[in-house]
Amino acid sequence: MTLKRLALLLSMVLILVLVASYWLIRMLVIIPILEREVASLQWHETLAVRQYFSQQQMLLSDLAISPGYDHWAKSVLEGGDATSRLTRGAEVAMAFGPDLSLRSFLAHDSREPDHFPILVGEAAYQRARLMPTMLPEREMVKTGLLWLGGNLYSYSASTVCSLNKLGCTLGYLLLLKPMPVSEVESNFTRLGIRVTARPARSEDLALPRLMNLTGLDEPVRQRDLLIRDSLSQGAWVLSIVYSAQVQHGVERREWIAFVLLLLLLPTTNFLLWRIFVTPIEFGSDQLLQMERERQYRKLTVNMYVKEFQHLVNAFNGLIGRVEKQRQQLQDLSQTDSLTGLANRRGMDHFAVREWRRLCRARYGGAVMMLDIDDFKAYNDEFGHQAGDDCLVCVARELKRVARRGEDIACRYGGEEFCTIYVEVQPETVEKLAESLRRHIEKLHKSTALLKRPISASIGVALVEPGVDLVKQFHDFDQLVRIADQQLYLAKQNGKNQVRMWRLSTAATEKPA
């Protein structure tokens, strides 16, 4: 798998983890919290419905103890005038004796007592369930709901005290007020609560009772509650459609959040590529190129992550040490360990590089071959250590005359040395060669390493500036062979001398 695909996969996994985390938090934390809050709000709506019915009963109770109805009931029960000039509303007033027999009846319309058979019939025990306990010393009141003839009424029953306050055993005053369905529903609508009412059926008796609820366990969209009257009859079923609801579906703002998360995918992928992928790929390409070229160098990549930059710095430090060791090994492989001059390998490397420049620029150059005269006899006479000291002294002189950075002096083999000069004038080469021969001849006077005087034979192959070498030679080796031939001639002609071959633009001198 490539790093780009891995970054894309990681960014996709990151987005999926975020979405899954949000969904889990939503289902396990947010939704339960919302459900508890909504259940609390729905409980308050339910309490408002219950308080409405309780309030209707309290209003009727206050009306029962008002001076008008109280005076009427006392007058009727004490045998006085049963007529009344009360400005009556929708309520119905009834006066009962202590034996629960009907003594008087008041209604604002044409209804007669026969409309309420349970209150005027023989079922006195049912009427007794509606009445409060009669105590002589004080007035008692009882309120509730009553289901009569397919209609729901709120009622208030109270004991009646005598006018002279001698006791509260005259009888009972009962007020009934109808609660039409349309009126109840419209009242709840004004309160902002959606309530519908219908008569209760036998299968509704198992529903929770409105007046007995103590709390709500979980929120629902609609709750059906049963209203029982004071005689335990099923009266109404109230269907409350709560305004507070739990939205289990995905809301619009959540869809917007999901879209933003999807937009976060390319952004996250871009950041991953920018911070991780691109620098690592760039560094990897550099490493692959180094592997192909077999040339190792420091990485030139900037990492945004500190730890990655530490790795790059460590790699560059390692490459620096390896390069330093490689250079040291290369120098050792191209350097003669005894004299400190370049060896044949070092000279060949230098010659290949400079030959191209020499052919292109035509700035001229020279090859000087030097051989210590009678070195074998010197070595046999004084030993190998003395022979090595002799080689070191001659090498020191060669370094002196090849001190420019463009020149190279090397130990060609045994007691034979070679010096290559570039960008040098012919007269300078002649002076250097002759000066070197004389210094070697007098070298025993300036150092104690030499046991006796020595001399050297020198052969030079000189190419003047402006000569087109491509037409004459293939490489530096041909000039080296020419210089070696000149050295051989110097040996044959008596040693301790300089022989020179010169190639000019006008003519070519051939070796003698």
> Catalytic amino acids?
415
Q: Which amino acid is at 500?
A: M
Spatial contact of 341 and 335, defined as CB atoms under 8 Å apart: yes
Cα(82)–Cα(12) distance, rounded to whole angstroms? 89
Strands (E), 376-426: 408-413, 416-422
Spatial contact of 371 and 433, defined as CB atoms under 8 Å apart: no
Q: Of 472, 474, 460, which Cα lies nearest the Cα of 429?
A: 460
The long-range contacts involving 14-18, CB below 8 angstroms and separated by at least 24 positions, are 14/268, 15/261, 15/262, 15/264, 15/265, 15/268, 18/261, 18/264
Sheet holding 92-96: strands in order across?
A: 102-106, 92-96, 171-178, 151-160, 141-148
Q: Of 147, 164, 154, 296, which Cα lies nearest the Cα of 228?
A: 147
3-state secondary structure at position 171: strand
Cα(460)–Cα(475) distance, rounded to whole angstroms? 16
Rounded to an integer, what is the distance from CA 111 to the centroid of its chain?
80
**Residue 335 CB partners (closer than 8 Å, separation 6+):** 341, 342, 343, 346
Q: Which amino acid is at 487?
A: L
Q: Of 168, 166, 155, 165, which Cα lies nearest the Cα of 129?
A: 155
Spatial contact of 136 and 51, defined as CB atoms under 8 Å apart: no
Q: Which two tokens stand for residue 275?
A: 């911070």
- The burial of 445, by beta-carbon neighbours within 10 Å (0-12 exposed, 13-18 middle, 19 or more buried), is given as exposed
Question: Cα separations (Å) of 45 from 140, 210, 225?
Answer: 32, 12, 13
Cα(368)–Cα(474) distance, rounded to whole angstroms? 18
**Residue 209 CB partners (closer than 8 Å, separation 6+):** 225, 226, 227, 228
To which H or E segment does residue 166 belong? Answer: none
Q: Of 168, 146, 166, which Cα lies nearest the Cα of 158?
A: 168
Cα(96)–Cα(105) distance, rounded to whole angstroms? 9
